[in-house]
Structures are given as C-alpha cells and as structure tokens.
Structure 1
Amino acid sequence: MEKLQEIKQFVLAKTKGNALKFGDKLPHSTEQGKYTFMDNGFWVGGFWTGLNYLCYEMSKDSSYMEFARSSNHRFTKRLYEDRQTTDHDLGFLFSLSSVADYKLTNNQEARKVGIDAADELIGRFHEVGQYIQAWNVWTPGDPFSEENRGRIIIDCMYNLPLLFWASEETGDPKYKNVAIAQAETCAKSIIRPDYTTYHTYIFDSETGEPKYGKTFQGHADESCWSRGQAWALGGYTHAYRYTGNMAYLKIAKQCAQVFIDRLEEDLIPMWDFTFQGGKEGETRDTSAAAIAAASFLELAKHVPAAEQAYYHDLAKRIVFNLYEFYSTKNDPENEGLLKEATAHKPKNSGINVSLIYGDYYFAEAVARLLNETVVYW
C-alpha cells in the first residue's frame, strides 16, 4: 500500500502541474517530453478530463474538477457545432467528461450532453450490417477511406459503456440494443477464432455482408496489435458488466489470456505481438499495458474467487513495473506519466512518447488498486 500511495502522489502532482500549464487545452502525445494539443480533442480529449476527475476522486481536491470542466466548451462545440468530426470515439470523449461530471456531481447539464452524445453514437449504427460505423470517409475516392463506410474497429468495444449508461439513465433500451448488436457483430468478425483480434474489419456497407479484416495501426492484417487486444479484453469485460451475458465474459477472459501469454518478461508488451521477444527497431507500448492493467482489475470483479487474485496481482505487478521502469518519476520536466508508448508505428508517429490515454489508464489502475474510484465506465 505504501508503494501505491507513492505512485498516487506522483500522479496527483504531475497532473496538477500540467493542468496549471495546459489551461483548457486537451493534450494528445508528447514531443521531447512536452505534450502537444488537439483543439477539438481528436479521439483522446476525454482522457485528460478523465484523468483530472480521477485525481479529484483520489484527493477530493476540487481544483481537479475545475481543471476538467475548463475544457467543456471544446467538447460541446464538437458535439453540437462540428458534428462532421465526430466518430465512434464519442464514448471515449464523453464518458470521461460529461458522464463523469454527472456521476460525481449530479450536474444535469452534463447528463444532457452525455445523452446527446449517446444519441449521436447510435446515429452511426448500420441496421443492415448490425454495426456502428467507426470512421468517416476522410477522402472520398480513396480506397481505404471509402472502406470506412463499412468499417468497425476493435477500439469501439471500449466506447460502448456510453450507450449502456444512457439506457440505464433514461430507461430507453435503444442505446443498449445498439451496444449489444455491436458486441455481437465484433464477436463474429473482429475477434478471431483463437481470440486474437483484427484492428479493423470491413463490411459491405450496402448489404451488411462481412468481407475481411484489415489493420491500420498494427503490423499486418493478420497480426495482433497489442493495444487492440487490450481494448478487446476490457471492452468485453464492461459489456459483461452491463449485460450479464456469459459469452462476453468468456471472450474477455480468452482475449486476456492471449494478451498475458504474449507479454514480455517485464510484463510490458511490444507494440504488436508479432515482435514478442523483442526485435531491433521495434518498440514496446506502455499504453497497452496500462489499458490491460485497468481492464484486468475490472475483470477480477466478475470471476470466481480463485481467479480474482490472479488478475489483481497481475495488474498490480504491471502498475509497479510501469512506475519503476517506464514512468517519468525521475524526470520532472517530462509532462507525461509513462514513457515508451507507441501511437502509430506504421506511420512512424508517436514512437517512444507519452500518450494521454496511457497516462489515464495508468492512473485508473492505481485508483482501482486503492479502491478510490467508483464512477468510470
């Protein structure tokens, strides 16, 4: 517990120092130890507000809530004025901003924004194929971009809690029904028979017929991108939490085992499991480790007692290793919490950096280990 308290103080101090510098800006990834920002939050803006709400829960220091709320105008502008920029990551954006605010404070305006975001998300649902379209058509006529009309990506499984929450909050099953449809479609397509995952999967947007798996951020179409595998194990864990469907718990546990079996000796995965065991020029992804650690702690709540300690202990060891060997605890000028994250290796973008979502899930895992968070997902 003493080590966890040390890590907690590290998270609190670094986050407050950053918030005092960042103002209402939304960080994405670091360059030479300094965070860069996305005006509209990109797909990652909620992780910064979520990190501040976590710090509020762990400290009861109201300044963190003020820091989180200072960015609200960026989220509402995007939802109500710049809708062409929204995609399936509405869950990441609004579960950790508006919904978190409402759960913590009963802020009714935040509740409305969260439900409006859920309405926007189900508006992306393709009835014929029973899937939520992940991305927009970025460049009409470009073959890859055109495929977006029928593309799902594994990250969406971790966006579905927004929809489950909206049904619980409103009593309207339409949100939950879409979330379940997405989970079922993913289970039959993007989850392979051996419980590894494709990054994306393409459907015929007119007929709904499944076509093929394809990567974007992974090494190859048939490889297993480690962060995507973490999204799967956590996404299906939360789907089970909201539905009680044992099939989802089975998928979560099997995806977890794939992840565990491919970890490096220090429990931090390579960016793609193709490179398990390491390869010169290839990098780890601490953000995948952090997502998995937080997800293992949620999974531990839903398995028999004999298995709970296994997942809990594994998550704790990952958190401790991240802190000891991959954190910025000895680098006060570095604005990130975790180093050696990998954003988009195929495009050589964000390599060996801090990523705000890696920082967020690291903090979430710490808060979970301390039993000091109650509102997330």
Structure 2
Amino acid sequence: MIKEKAHGGLSMTTQLEQAAQFILTKTKQNILSFGDQLPTGTAEGKYKFADNGFWVGGFWTGLNWLCYELSGDQQFSAAARASKSRFTQRLYEQQETLDHDIGFLYMPTFVADYKLTGNLEARKIALDAADRLKERFNEAGQFIQAWNVWESGEAFSEENRGRIIIDCMYNLPLLFWAYEETGDEDYRRVAVAHADTCANTIIRPDFTTFHTYVFDPSTGQPKFGQTFQGYADDSCWARGQTWAIGGYTYAYKYTGDKKYLELARKLTEVYIDRVEPDFIPLWDFSVPNPSEALRDTSAAAIAAASLLELAEHVEGEEKEKYVQFADNTLQSLYHNYSTKELPDNEGLLVNACGHHPAGSDIDCSLIYGDYYFAEAVTRLLGKGKGYW
C-alpha cells in the first residue's frame, strides 16, 4: 500500500479519489459527444477521430472500462462496447490495415470485456486478433514485423519488411493471454522469441532503447538500429523506454523468467535517472537544449502504470520505491498537467508529444496518455483488474 502523505493538506488517498472523480466526470462528458467514434489526439483542446482507430482506438474503449471499474456505472460499459463494429470490421474485413499494434487495439477492448464480464464473444474476437498478431512472426529473424510497407519502393518503407519497434513489447501480452486461454504453445513461443530478439538488438548495452531495429527479412540477420519518432538514431526516445519497461514487466509476469524482470529493472533505472525533477520526461532524453524541449506526459503516464505492475513482482524497499515513484508521477500529472481547471478541454492530460519529427500531435492530449493515467489511478485505488 502507498503511504499517506499530504499535498495541499490532503491525503494521497483523497487526492487519488479526486483524480478518479475528475477522470469519471470528463469521460462521461466525452461519451455524449464522441458516440461510437475513436479519438486519437487533440487540436485546440478537442479530440480528433480515426474511423478505424489508427493504432490507438483501443485506449478510448479501455478508458471507459476503467471508468466502469471505478464507478460501476453501466453508462461506461455501454460506451466501451459502442465502437465494437469498428474493431470487428477492421479485424475481419480490413486486415491489411492492421500491424503489430493489434495488442493495443484488442487488449483494452475485447480482452478487457471478457475479463470483466465473462463475455465469450469478446474472448473469441480477442483470440482471432491474437492469431493475426502471431501471423506477423518472421521465423528467420525470430521477430514480429512491426509495420507494413507503406510505399512500395521507398527505402524506409521497404525496410519495414524487416523492422521491429520497441512499442511491440507492450503488445505481446495479447499472445501470452491467448496461450493461457487456449494452451496453444505457439502463442507463447512467438511472444518469447520476439522478447528475446528485442533484448539482443533493440535494447542497447546501457539499457537505453532504439526506437526501431532493422533485420534482413529473408535471412533474419540483424542490421542496424534506427529512429522514426525519436530525436536521432542513437538517441533514447522517452515513450519507447516506457514501452520497454512495461513490456518486459509483463513478459516476466506471464513467463516467470527472471531475465525479463532484470531487464525491466535496468530499463527502469535508466528512466528514473533521466526523467525531469517533476517526474515528467522530455520527449527524448537525448535532445540538445533540454530547457527548451517539449515534455511528454503520455510517457510519464505509461511509466506510472508500468511501475505499478513492476511493483507487483518485487518486494520490500524496491517495491516501495516503484510505488512511490508512480505516486509522485501521478501527483505531478494531476496537479500540473491535467485539464482539471480546463473544463472545455476534452483530454485528461496536456503537454503530450505524439510524433515530434513529423510535427504531429505536439503539445496536446493523447488518448493513450489519458488511458494510462487512468489505469495508474485505478491501480493505486485498488479497483483495477488489469487488461494486459
């Protein structure tokens, strides 16, 4: 349990309850205007939408499931299911639009529904999604191909045939869950192989991470690390580091292999050592002129949720350290970076950084930042069952 401590005269539990109420109130307001649409990031405080959810659609559904757990209010469970047809159409009729982020799309949606309500149809859809993720496995290189070829003949796009990205580590729980549900060893085999390949390539010897890593798709031979969303090929993109922390924590949870736990610990130390004093990281840890660089609250939220999961697998002072760090991160997010005093802003957190090099979703709210903020609050209140 977290220690009670004051902030502005309020206990930490009271602050968490206030944060939870803030999340519930704003999400309920958004339900009325969003309908079955899937939000991505904000522009001038209003969410934009993607018809098929892009790679982030599952987080709006997951946010509603979290609110259902926090409140028991069936308005949230109804909202969580409102976009079902968008996800099923994409899975069964538009498979060419899917990439390795299948876990992000179908874990906080259909796996969550099954875990919370026992919905067997949701279970089947989630298992079908796991099949699509498993099919992306490159046997020669022992990795899951991240992205599809966006533009035939263009060099970077062609390299996608042999590309992994660090985000995929957080998608592996879909395969581990499918193994536990079915007993089919192939799901586990693919997930473990990918985790091991990432450990040997995309994670550097100093436990920073490349954003992407490229292999020869025919032979599986490792070639080089490269960035797409980070500052430089040899930099450490903050959100990527947090995807790695959570991904290896869950790999340990599902396998019990302590090498994954050790990786999660080492990756966490890098993050803790490099995060800013207010617990919110710069968008990339390697940027020049840090005082002028943008923050990324979405990375902070992912870190908080991931460290609360990591804390479940360690004991004593180490456990307390991770929980306290997550506490401090949530306090900073809620008091300094939330929209609690911006009632017309549809997001929960401001100052998130989506794709800095492309100038896309800069200094805004991002639906996955909002989701992980809510997940961490729900966890600390002891009300979340976990969807990963």
TM-score interval, smaller chain: over 0.9
Corresponding position: 1:43 with 2:55: yes
* Partner amino acid, structure 1, of 2:338: S
On the 8 A contact 2:102/2:129 being kept in 1, the answer is yes
Does 1:303 pair with 2:314? yes
Aligned pairs (5 A) from 1:280-319: 280=292, 282-319=293-330
Q: Within 1, Cα distance between the matches of 2:362 and 2:206?
A: 29
User: Could you say which residue in structure 1 is the equivalent of 2:89?
Assistant: 77
1:41-74 Cα distance to aligned partner (Å, 9 max, x none): 0000000000000000011111101001000000
- Structure 1 length as normaliser, TM-score? 0.99
- The answer (yes or no) to whether the contact 1:264–1:277 under 8 Å persists in 2 is no
> Could you tell me which of 205, 208, 212 is aligned with 1:193?
205
Q: 1:316 to 1:297 in 2, by over 3 A?
A: same
Query: Please, which moves more after superposition, 230-239 or 301-310?
Result: 301-310
Q: Which amino acid aligns with 2:320?
A: A
2:297/2:350 contact within 8 Å kept: yes
Give the Cα separation in 2 of the matches to 1:101 and 1:205: 36
How far has the Cα of 1:277 moved from its partner?
Answer: 7.4
Answer whether contact 2:308 2:322 (CA < 8 A) is retained: yes
Other-structure match for 2:5: none
Name the residue aligned to 1:272. Answer: 284
* Residues 102 and 276 of structure 1: CA distance in aligned 2, closer, same or farther (over 3 Å): farther
Letter of the structure 1 residue corresponding to residue 154 of structure 2 = D
Offset of 1:197 from its aligned partner?
0.1
Matches of 2:331 and 2:295 in 1, distance apart? 16
Secondary structure, counterpart of 1:342 in structure 2: strand
* 2: CA distance, partners of 1:180 / 1:62: 37
Work out whether 1:129 is the aligned partner of 2:141.
yes
- Separation in 1 of the partners of 2:287 and 2:18? 33
Q: Distance in 2 between matches of 1:339 and 1:368?
A: 21
Q: Structure 1: how far apart are the matches of 2:321 and 2:261?
A: 16
Give runs of aligned pairs for residues 313-332 of structure 1, distance below 5 A: 313-332=324-343
**Any gaps of 5 or more consecutive residues in structure 2?**
1-12
What's the CA shift string for 1:64-122, capped at 9, x where partnerless?
01001000000000000000000000000000111110111111110000000000000
**In structure 2, the residue corresponding to 1:374 is in which secondary structure?**
coil
**Matched residue, 1:173:** 185
Give the SS at the match of 1:193: coil
Deviation of 1:276 after TM superposition, in Å, equals 7.8
1:357 equivalent to 2:368? Answer yes
Q: Quick one: which of 247, 253, 258 aligns to 2:259?
A: 247
- Aligned equivalents of 2:312, 2:118: Cα separation in 1: 26
Matched, 1:92 2:104: yes
Matched, 1:112 2:109: no
CA distance in 1, matches of 2:128, 2:207: 34
CA offsets, 1:332-368, max 9 Å, x none?
A: 0000000000001001111100000000000000001
CA positional deviation for 1:20: 1.2
Counterpart Cα distance in 2 of 1:124 and 1:263: 34
Q: Structure 2 length as normaliser, TM-score?
A: 0.96
Structure 1 residues 148-227: aligned runs within 5 Å: 148-227=160-239
Residues 237-284 of structure 1 deviation map (CA, whole Å, 9 limit, x = unaligned): 00000000000000000000000100111110000001387232x200
The CA distance in 2 between the partners of 1:114 and 1:277, in whole Å, is 44
In structure 2, the partner of 1:261 is 273
The residue type equivalent to 2:106 in the other structure is: F
* Residue 102 of structure 1 pairs with residue 102 of structure 2: no
Counterpart code for 2:374: A
Shift of 1:128: 0.6
Once superposed, what is the RMSD of the aligned Cα atoms?
0.8
1:14 alignment counterpart: 26
Structure 1 residues 14, 276: closer, same or farther in 2, change over 3 A? farther
1:202 match: secondary structure? strand
One-letter identity of the residue aligned with 2:110: S
Aligned partners of 2:316 and 2:250: how far apart in 1? 19
- Give the whole-Å Cα distance in 2 for the aligned partners of 1:304 and 1:128: 39
Query: Contact 1:264–1:276 at 8 Å: present in 2 too?
Result: no
Inter-partner Cα distance in structure 2 for 1:69 and 1:16: 14
**Partner Cα distance (1:96, 1:293) in 2:** 17
Identity of aligned residues (%): 62
Q: In 1, are the aligned partners of 2:59 and 2:108 still within 8 Å (CA)? A: yes
Amino acid at match of 1:322: L
